[in-house]
Amino acid sequence: MLGRLGMFMGRHRWWVIALWVVVLAVAAPLAKNVTHHLTASGLDAPGSRAVWADRQLALLRGPPAAAPLLVEHASSGAVRAWAVRFHVPAANVHPLPDGSAVVLPTGVSAPHLHGFQSYARGRGATLVPVNQLSVGQRVIRDTKSTLATSLPVALPLLLVLLLLVFGTVAAASLPLGIAAVGTVVALAVIDLLENSMTLSAYLTDIVSFLALGVGVDYALFISVRYRQALAKTSGDAIAALDEAMGHAGRSVLFSGLAVALALATLALGGNAYWRGIAVGGAITVAVVLMCTHTLLPAVLGALGPRIHWGRVPIKRGHFWERLGGWVRRHPGWAFLAAAVLLGVPASQGPAIRMNTPANLAVLLPAHDPLREAVFLLQRVQGAGSSSPLAVVMELPERTTSPAAWTRVAQIAGRIQRDPTVRSVSSPTALAPPTALARAAEGAPGIPAALAQGLRSFAAPKSAPHLAVLYVTSRQGPDAAGTVALVQRLDRQLGRWLPSQRTGVGGVTALLHGFNRLTAQRLPWIIGAVAAVAFGVLLVATGSLWQALLGVAFDGLVALATAGVLVATVQRGSLGLLPLAPDSSITPLIFVLLFGLSMDYEVILLHRIQERFAAAGAAEAARDGVAATGGMITGAGMIMVAVFLALILSPLEIMKTLAIGMTAAILLDTWLVRTLLVPSSVVWLGPRAFWPGGARAP
């Protein structure tokens, strides 16, 4: 059927190309605006106390104390002089290594602080609050800059690799063009979805590089088979399309479905973040499949023999034929060599500890001034000062009652007695309970400062029973003691206010909840993606053995990839700071591994099946390696070039994705597809494709 589809697209090529030109013209403006509504939110555990508490915090003015200020584009000496001018103590000004400075608002009146800010801005300085909101905004900014940083490096490298694989300029340029169209259309679809669902700021990078990688790979597989068929059909483009789409097109379809379904399993992550990644990733692969099965055969039909234009003189050896012959003669040694090379990193895999940091500053580059400002703040004001916990309570009494504030004072005192708590910011420090009740009621004669200060702790009009305390831990946001404190406060609040809604909100509590949720859901995601891989291989090959082995080999590669992440990211090597692999990106690496490995598995096994009945298992395995080894490893290197370009991203999380995907693809293409799979076919012999047998695709 796909052969006939290819012939149809080839015969009506100009209509198909014209239709895609229209689609591209409509999609380009949408793709350009794709980052406008992406968000850093969604990293939470839906229905948790932390989520409820965070929603209540939106009713308030925010923490009572003014945030410290990072003053950039001005020397620390100038900042100190400006501070003295507006009665800000010189001791409140802390220089940073890059020459900027942090100004602490402690002990400074609001008018003087406002005057300092206006004066500094008037002299070209940039003032950034040192808090989690500002850090999150900078993470989004750096995420958006990743494409501009990485793509100019990835594209020339891709073209060089494609020239090495194809040997002609026309053939090498075609996969890049198909991938570019798929990327633009996929981003346009994401832009349309932004208004109806929560989509992560990381999604543009993931979508762009995934579309580029699979688009090039799929176009490569089909184009190589088309060129081979063109030689056999004496230049008959339509007949060549019939063979190319009937064989390689079928394999690519199964591969794409495997990747899309694998990505869809991320929806089992249980929150908006994972659903957005799942939907965005699956849509991306679906769009690329549409391009490779409609636009690509139309362009190939239009090019015909001109696909060979721009031949580059490249001497090709017989490496893959020799390797295939060696695997045929020594399947045991081939299997053992691959197993040992995978087993070494796999032995470190169980040590992986995934965690999305509650201290978002660690996601920023090592020398980012805002990151350094957060760490300075932790040294000066305490490790927990960068991310206070918000204890949110629905009181039995209305906040217009003095009894409500008496209860709040009692709870604040109990929390303060916890040895892991550094300080508790309570509204009862502003005024006695009676005065607070009158301020909540809006009684006349209440000082404006008291009324304004109360807005950080209560919202009498919109939530008359709501009260909030801000708790600073003695330890950092990601310390085990802070995690235990959040859990302990949740339990204690349930005892102190048994019939009321309570919770601990803020970034720290939300991300701890997200980490727990992801850890709970990860086994389900891995199980689902393994089931997808098993099902796709079973349908694609008709072989129970190959489906089982495919899942087992992928599991070994996943464990080895985890070991690489432990050795590089978790322990801090290759110029990285020691940091637990991020739980908001690491599961994606394993899911993509299972999905993308199906690309190479299906291509290889279909080629082996084509020769299996006539030549037997050993010869079919040798011929499969000889025919696809260069193409599969070339496609793998292309995918590596795409993801490895992310190492240039300023964000540690994108570097984790780059390292993880690079390791996974290299291990999969160079060890599993060239050694483990063909040697297992030789070993199994006539039973290699049981029970479906050697059915040619």
Q: What pLDDT score does 480 carry?
A: 92
Q: What is the DSSP letter of 428?
A: G
Q: Identical fold at 1-32+168-311 and 320-363+521-697? A: yes
Closest CA to 263 of 219, 193, 212, 207: 207
Task: In whole angstroms, give the CA distance from residue 443 to residue 425.
Answer: 24
Instruction: Give me the amino acid identity at 606.
Output: H
Q: What pLDDT score does 36 carry?
A: 54
Q: E strand or H helix at 504, and its extent?
A: strand 502-505
Q: Are 367 and 32 in contact (CB under 8 A)?
A: no
Task: In whole angstroms, give the CA distance from residue 468 to residue 247.
Answer: 64
Q: pLDDT over 70 for what percent of the chain?
A: 97
Task: In whole angstroms, give the CA distance from residue 210 to residue 137.
Answer: 24
One-character DSSP codes across 584-636: TTHHHHHHHHHHHHHHHHHHHHHHHHHHHHHH-HHHHHHHHHHHHHHHHHHHH
Q: Three-class SS string for 367-409?
A: CCHHHHHHHHHHHHHCHHHHCCEEEEEECCCCCCCHHHHHHHH
Provide φ and ψ at 129, rounded to 5°.
Answer: -60, 135
Q: What pLDDT score does 35 carry?
A: 62
Task: In whole angstroms, give the CA distance from residue 447 to residue 167.
Answer: 80
Task: In whole angstroms, give the CA distance from residue 272 to residue 199.
Answer: 7
Task: In whole angstroms, give the CA distance from residue 509 to residue 477.
Answer: 9
Q: Are 49 and 492 in contact (CB under 8 A)?
A: no
Instruction: Give me the amino acid identity at 594.
Output: F
Q: What pLDDT score does 143 carry?
A: 78
Task: In whole angstroms, give the CA distance from residue 601 to residue 677.
Answer: 8
The fold for domain 1-32+168-311 equals Multidrug efflux transporter AcrB transmembrane fold (1.20.1640)
**Which residue is associated with the tokens 């339509």?**
238
101-103: strand order across its sheet:
93-95, 101-103, 69-72, 126-129
Report the sign of the C-alpha dihedral through residues 94, 96, 100, 105, in that order.
negative
One-character DSSP codes across 62-128: --SSPPPEEEESS-HHHHHHHHHHTT--GGGEEE-TTS-EEE--TT--HHHHHHHHHHHHHTT-EEE
Q: Are 327 and 679 in contact (CB under 8 A)?
A: yes
Q: Long-range pairs for 3-8 at CB < 8 Å and ≥24 separation?
A: 3/241, 3/242, 3/243, 3/245, 3/246, 3/249, 4/242, 5/245, 5/249, 5/293, 5/297, 6/241, 6/242, 6/244, 6/245, 6/246, 6/249, 6/293, 6/297, 7/238, 7/241, 7/242, 7/245
Q: How many CB atoms lie within 10 A of CB 515?
A: 23
Residue 60's beta-bridge partner residues? none
The token pair at 424 is: 């508790």
CATH superfamily of 320-363+521-697: Multidrug efflux transporter AcrB transmembrane domain (1.20.1640.10)
Q: Respond yes or no on whether the N-terminal peptide bond of residue 156 is cis (omega within 30° of 0).
A: no
User: In sequence order, what are the residues at sequence separation of 6 or more whose Cβ sits closer than 8 angstroms to the Cβ of residue 48?
Assistant: 503, 513
Q: Are 466 and 394 in contact (CB under 8 A)?
A: yes
Instruction: Give me the amino acid identity at 46.
Output: P
Q: How many CA atoms lie within 13 A of 97 on its CB side?
A: 9
The token pair at 86 is: 């507006």
Mode of pairing for the β-strands spanning 101-103 and 421-425 = unpaired
483 three-class SS:
helix
Treating both helix axes as pointing N-terminal to C-terminal, what angle do 617-644 and 203-232 enclose, rounded to 10 degrees? 140
Helices (H), 123-166: 132-166
Phi-psi region of 234 (alpha: psi -120 to 50; beta: other; left: phi over 0): left
646 three-class SS:
helix
Task: In whole angstroms, give the CA distance from residue 291 to residue 285.
Answer: 10
**Which residue is associated with the tokens 């002990």?**
107
CB environment 394-421: b (16+ within 10 A), e (fewer): bbebebbbbebbbbbbebbeebeebeeb
The token pair at 648 is: 């240039």
Q: Are 250 and 7 in contact (CB under 8 A)?
A: no
pTM of the model: 0.88
First to last CA, the chain: 11
Q: What pLDDT score does 602 carry?
A: 87
Q: What pLDDT score does 345 carry?
A: 97
487 three-class SS:
helix
Q: E strand or H helix at 472, and its extent?
A: strand 466-473
Q: What is the DSSP letter of 551?
A: H
* Domain residue ranges of the chain, discontinuous segments joined by +: 1-32+168-311, 68-129, 320-363+521-697, 388-505
Q: Each residue of 191-223: pLDDT tens digit?
A: 888 777 767 767 777 888 888 888 888 998 899
The token pair at 120 is: 């500094």
**Which residues in the chain show pLDDT less than 70?**
35-41, 198, 201, 314, 316, 693-697
